[in-house]
Structure 1
Amino acid sequence: MAKQPREQWATRTGFLLAAIGSAVGLGNIWRFPAVAYDNGGGAFLLPYLIALLTAGIPLLIMEYAIGRKYRTSPPAALRQMARPAQVLGWWQVAISFVIATYYAVIIAWAVRYVGFAADQAWGDDPEGFLFGTFLKAADEPGFVSGYVSGVLWPLIAVWVVVLGILAFGVRRGIETANKIFIPLLVIFFGALVVRSITLDGAAEGLDAFFTPDWSELDDGSVWVAAYGQIFFSLSIGFGIMITYASYLRRRSDLTGSAMVAGFANSSFEILAGIGVFAALGFMAQNAGVPVGDVATAGLGLAFVAFPTIISEMWLGGLFGVLFFLSLVIAGLTSLISIVQVVVSAVQDRTGMHRLPAVFIFGGAVAVASILLFPTNEGVYLLDASDHFINQYGIALAALVGVIAVAWLMRKLPELQRDADATSAVSLGHWWRICLGLITPVVLGWMMVDSLRKEFEENYEGYSTGFLLGAGWSVAIGALVVGVLLSLIPWKTAEGGLTDLDLKTADEAEARRRKQDRHGEEDH
């Protein structure tokens, strides 16, 4: 069996839409507005912009450059940079596997809430409806005791859609899906924002969101929060952008693409803040309380606060359908990119064709998701897994990755030359300074601060036993799996990725560059 040619994005627009779709996810809608409000309101936008320019976009460019240069998944790309670095790549694959298992469940909840919003099925008690009637959550955290059919069947449907799209490949599947989903998301969420700002009390909500508290900028935690939001919202640190960039053409503009994707993501976050706080202003006015009393984040915002708003407003059903459809679409585009990391790594490691890779290994992610999360204890498992894999998976992997590339392997100059050769905007010394100094220092401080809080008190008051089983074991397990996978002998699979030495890799690189110079129209 001859080695399979690597797929490519049909157009630069297709790649950008996929990258934006991966970055724009559930966290943009329910995390950013509350983080901004709690950290100085309008003043938070200054450290947020600085974080985007000094960490977010530089990291995006680095991951794009790695993916395009080595044209393979994170483990194989990092292995070609330095053999021990493949541990980091497999760690990222394991992190993606974990995140995909629970991320799909939240999308399944949103699917059900599209229907619930139409007739406001939650009645007068959205919180009781969510945890009692719908999720049938157990009274205490624990492990699987029973399944909830109302969550199970939409979760299966979500996985059928995701695996179906992935089965069609990068160009006919992922790219085509994002060309449909991203415009729909802009239309639906744009309509929702327009409706929000016309509500009574919207001005008070927007005033609470945008009024700057400049004194907050003296607080180091505000700057840490800004960098944290950028890291968690741009899909960097766990292999997605390396994977997506590996399907780029050789002459693609990396710097320009990173800027477009980064600013598009941030623009959507600010738009989400406008929509959310306009609606919260309406809710606060109806309740006769300050906006701060109703401002919340996460599941509470999406599945408790917004249903309350929907119940109180004229044409609330339509507003609710648009809101939850936006959640579904934003979630799907991100979930597709996360599972693609696993599929791509398997293909490059084994030489397996796409269909079996998707259905066997993507299917394994789906099975784990279906077995663990549509259960009475699922919401607790989800909460603990999400917290620990974000704090000690994504953030820690990003820290180790940037230190490995910038300090240990000293690959930044080489990656910079590769990016500058085809980009409209050349990278200066600022890029290496950001990645070599600013990003590691901020990520390191975030890790220390997070661990300090972790040991001061148990997350959400959960028992130590539960946190060890559903939190720490998940985060540490992802690292252990990464190490174990990297220890498996890297044998050449028939039709798969060969174990190139550096000389052969350089020769192959030169041949591909010569071939790709003809007929490419990326600029």
Structure 2
Amino acid sequence: MTDKNEWGSNMSFILAMIGSAVGLGNIWRYPYVLYSNGGGAFYIPYIVAILLMGIPFLILEYGVGYNFKSSFAKAVKTINSKWEYLGWLLPVAVFMIMIYYSAILGWDGIYIFLSFFKGWGADPNAYFTTTLLQSSDSLSGLLSFIPLIAVAMLVGWVIIWFISHRDLEKGLGKVSKILVPLLFIIMIIIVGFSLTLPGASVGLAELFHPDWSLLGNFDIWMAAFGQIVFSLSLGMSIAFTYASYTKDDSDLITNTISIALANSLFENFAALGVFSILGYMSLQSGTAVADLVTQGTGLVFIVYPTVFNVLGNWAYVLGPLFFFTVYLAGLTSILSTIEPLSFSIQNKFGMTRKRTMTILIVVGAIISMIYATSYGSSVLGYVDTFINQIAILLGVIFECIIFAWIFKAEKLIDFLNSRSKSIKLGKWWILIVKYILPIFVTIVWIGGMYDVIQNSTPDQLIFTVISAVLLLGATLAFTLLPSKSPNWENSEERV
């Protein structure tokens, strides 16, 4: 291979990982999770989840990734050749996330332009669901193509290709050094302004009002651990892949703490802005904050435009800033979702980074056009539920088994501690990654499976099965195809 898959500096690695972790979920998912799970009381299980699962599991992924300095698929095959199939499962699943994520990025790109003149009109809800998405509940909506969304998505794919096909440091590393600090700066400006709005204190009081009685409820703990899994992209093979690109002297333990802290600060800071604006909206409309709170696309594409409609001239500044921030958060995350599969293909088939990225992005762009149809937003919801509640969590469980048990995580302790300027690993870490983590994630996975089976419509079950067949089929194909790289069978361990 002629490509240099290595970060130019430790800062490139840290900023790229922060960019991967800080995504749309921090802006539109976390504030709702915090509010609906006890407000201020939620911080107890949230902090426990970071300390008990987030940091220990990231250290495990980083440690094994750095040890093998290879792709996820190759490392899993090296640990035990019988498990190569699972080495492809997670990278393919994460690539499927990238494909539907491109649709949300496209929607937001449209809203950046709309925000300059409040192009969503007097009824943002009707504009988003009816005018833009042209949402249909019927499968026949798959035949109704929406050119505007398709073009917006293709623009996103071109940007992703422009960054990703270059050598790692010249592309992703360089862009991360610009976009991630810019993302934080713009968010500070937005939140700073939001805190000055009349009614901001009403929204914040509603957000942080602690309901201590919920601490005895198992659901609040499930919500905290689930948030950390999704927020830090645990078990998605992204952290593993990024760590495999690091230089030899990296302090992976300290880096892990820095990344987890930055991610936590961003999503809690975003929550301040969201609820300050909801408080302002509550004051203006006379509607209780509880009736305005929502999560997901509704918050970004319906609630925020509704607020901007009553904000006056400031909306013409705050609106574009907000939607540009969402775009940056989406872009820094989506760039990370192609890396695990790309690097695995480069390793096994001896292809260059440029060629691999180009092929994957063309294939992804073509498949993503299903989301540029009237039924696209429904399909997106179905695939997202399958990938996040079933496929990824199952991958986390298998990753714990392969890395902690079969590879033997104990081998990493001396090596990681020798480079650490912060905490030192010990038996407590082994206890967490070998026992506590896989048991808890298994419980969360069973809960997710039950939820999907219990609440699925016939259409959702159809697309869940289709998604599973595509995931398992692609994984099987990559596993069975013969290697074209002489290095596929060779691997060097560092510990």
Give the alignment's TM-score, normalised by structure 2.
0.96
Deviation of the 1:177 alpha carbon: 0.5
Q: 1:406 aligns with which of 392, 404, 407?
A: 404
Deviation of the 1:5 alpha carbon: 6.7
Aligned: 1:455 with 2:453: yes
**Given the superposition, is the C-alpha separation of residues 472 and 196 from structure 1 closer, same or farther in structure 2, using an over 3 Å criterion?**
farther
Matches within 5 A, 1:414-493: 414-424=411-421, 425-458=423-456, 463-464=457-458, 466-475=459-468, 477-489=470-482, 491-493=483-485
Q: Tell me if the contact between 2:19 and 2:329 (Cα under 8 Å) persists in the aligned partners.
A: yes
Q: Tell me if the contact between 1:143 and 1:381 (Cα under 8 Å) persists in the aligned partners.
A: no
The aligned amino acid for 2:159 is V
Q: Deviations over 1:269-307 (max 9, x none)?
A: 100110101111111222212211111100110100111
Q: 2:133 aligns with which of 135, 142, 166?
A: 135
Aligned: 1:186 with 2:176: no
Between the two proteins, the alignment pairs up a number of residues equal to: 493
Work out the CA distance in 2 between the residues paired with 1:36 and 1:93.
30
Matches within 5 A, 1:110-509: 110-141=108-139, 144-314=142-312, 315-369=314-368, 371-407=369-405, 409=406, 411-424=408-421, 425-458=423-456, 463-464=457-458, 466-475=459-468, 477-489=470-482, 491-493=483-485, 497-500=487-490, 505-506=492-493, 509=494
Q: Tell me if the contact between 2:190 and 2:322 (Cα under 8 Å) persists in the aligned partners.
A: yes
The aligned amino acid for 1:324 is F
**Given the superposition, is the C-alpha separation of residues 41 and 288 from structure 1 closer, same or farther in structure 2, using an over 3 Å criterion?**
same
Q: Deviations over 1:26-51 (max 9, x none)?
A: 00000000011110001101101110
Q: Tell me if the contact between 1:492 and 1:499 (Cα under 8 Å) persists in the aligned partners.
A: no
Work out the CA distance in 2 between the residues paired with 1:225 and 1:148.
36
Work out the CA distance in 1 between the residues paired with 2:345 and 2:137.
40
Q: Tell me if the contact between 1:42 and 1:210 (Cα under 8 Å) persists in the aligned partners.
A: yes
Secondary structure class of the residue paired with 1:421: helix
Secondary structure class of the residue paired with 1:373: helix
Q: Tell me if the contact between 1:343 and 1:362 (Cα under 8 Å) persists in the aligned partners.
A: no
Matches within 5 A, 1:58-69: 58-69=56-67
Work out the CA distance in 2 between the residues paired with 1:151 and 1:307.
18
The aligned amino acid for 2:323 is F
Q: Deviations over 1:137-190 (max 9, x none)?
A: 224355621211111111111000101101112100001111110111112111
Give the alignment's TM-score, normalised by structure 1.
0.91
The aligned amino acid for 2:235 is G
Deviation of the 1:415 alpha carbon: 2.5
Work out the CA distance in 2 between the residues paired with 1:28 and 1:171.
26
Work out the CA distance in 1 between the residues paired with 2:3 and 2:251.
22
Deviation of the 1:453 alpha carbon: 2.5
Q: 118-127 or 448-457, which moves further after superposition?
A: 448-457
CA RMSD of aligned residues (A): 1.7
Q: Deviations over 1:5-24 (max 9, x none)?
A: 75211111110000000000
Percent identical among aligned pairs is 34
Work out the CA distance in 2 between the residues paired with 1:322 and 1:25.
16
**Given the superposition, is the C-alpha separation of residues 5 and 192 from structure 1 closer, same or farther in structure 2, using an over 3 Å criterion?**
closer
The unaligned stretches of length 5 or more in structure 1 are 511-523
Q: Tell me if the contact between 2:347 and 2:488 (Cα under 8 Å) persists in the aligned partners.
A: no
The aligned amino acid for 2:316 is G
Work out the CA distance in 1 between the residues paired with 2:108 and 2:307.
16
Q: Name the counterpart of 1:72.
A: 70
Work out the CA distance in 2 between the residues paired with 1:400 and 1:115.
43
Q: Tell me if the contact between 1:69 and 1:418 (Cα under 8 Å) persists in the aligned partners.
A: no
The aligned amino acid for 2:441 is L
Secondary structure class of the residue paired with 1:352: coil
Work out the CA distance in 2 between the residues paired with 1:281 and 1:23.
28
Q: Tell me if the contact between 1:388 and 1:472 (Cα under 8 Å) persists in the aligned partners.
A: no
Q: Tell me if the contact between 1:392 and 1:475 (Cα under 8 Å) persists in the aligned partners.
A: no
**Given the superposition, is the C-alpha separation of residues 139 and 480 from structure 1 closer, same or farther in structure 2, using an over 3 Å criterion?**
closer
Secondary structure class of the residue paired with 1:118: coil
Work out the CA distance in 1 between the residues paired with 2:172 and 2:228.
24
Q: Tell me if the contact between 2:74 and 2:488 (Cα under 8 Å) persists in the aligned partners.
A: no
Q: Deviations over 1:78-129 (max 9, x none)?
A: 1112212322220011101210111011011111101111111111110110
Work out the CA distance in 2 between the residues paired with 1:288 and 1:248.
53
Work out the CA distance in 2 between the residues paired with 1:301 and 1:420.
43
Deviation of the 1:484 alpha carbon: 4.1
The aligned amino acid for 1:411 is K
Work out the CA distance in 2 between the residues paired with 1:239 and 1:411.
18
Work out the CA distance in 2 between the residues paired with 1:82 and 1:416.
21
Work out the CA distance in 2 between the residues paired with 1:498 and 1:452.
39
The aligned amino acid for 1:318 is V
Matches within 5 A, 1:45-124: 45-124=43-122
Work out the CA distance in 2 between the residues paired with 1:320 and 1:399.
41
Q: Tell me if the contact between 2:79 and 2:407 (Cα under 8 Å) persists in the aligned partners.
A: no
Deviation of the 1:340 alpha carbon: 1.6
Deviation of the 1:330 alpha carbon: 0.4
Work out the CA distance in 2 between the residues paired with 1:143 and 1:85.
40
Q: Tell me if the contact between 2:3 and 2:167 (Cα under 8 Å) persists in the aligned partners.
A: no
**Given the superposition, is the C-alpha separation of residues 143 and 80 from structure 1 closer, same or farther in structure 2, using an over 3 Å criterion?**
farther
The aligned amino acid for 1:323 is F
